[in-house]
Amino acid sequence: MSDLRLVYITAGSVDEAEKIGRVLVEARLAACVNILPGMRSIYRWQGAVEMAEEAVLIAKTRAPLVPPLVARVKELHSYDVPCAVSLPILDGNPDYLRWLAEEAAP
């Protein structure tokens, strides 16, 4: 199961996160997307320190789907440079990981 990935994505609102998440799952780019509202981010942008309320998406997918998933996020996202980073899933519930692999179909 070494090709399984979590993709961490931030969005400007819960509505935007829901729109992106639904598209990713409907397109089978992700088996599941979790949305965590109410995140506060502090970041540097164009030379200034900014703070914003955001929502987090955690997409569960397979490694071959990460590039098209990130491309789709960039198309749908309101940010100029959206955060979308992939992390490997190293271990877990074998039944869940099998389901994830089957549902995120390249």
11-61 residue pLDDT tens? 999 999 999 999 999 999 999 999 999 999 999 999 999 999 999 999 999
Has residue 1 got a pLDDT over 70? no
Return the CATH fold of 4-103: Alpha-Beta Plaits (3.30.70)
Rounded to 10 degrees, the C-alpha dihedral 87/92/95/101 comes to 10
Is the pLDDT at 81 greater than 60? The verdict is yes
**50/10 Cα distance (integer angstroms):** 15
Nearest one of 60, 62, 57 to 4, comparing CA atoms? 62
Phi first, then psi: give them for residue 81, nearest 5 degrees: -135, 80
Q: Specify the pLDDT at position 106.
A: 64
* pLDDT at residue 2, rounded to an integer: 77
Q: Give the whole-angstrom CA distance, residue 104 versus residue 64.
A: 10
Starting from the edge strand earliest in sequence, which strands make up the sheet with 4-11, in order? 32-45, 48-62, 4-11, 84-88
Task: Give me the residue spans of the domains in the chain.
Answer: 4-103
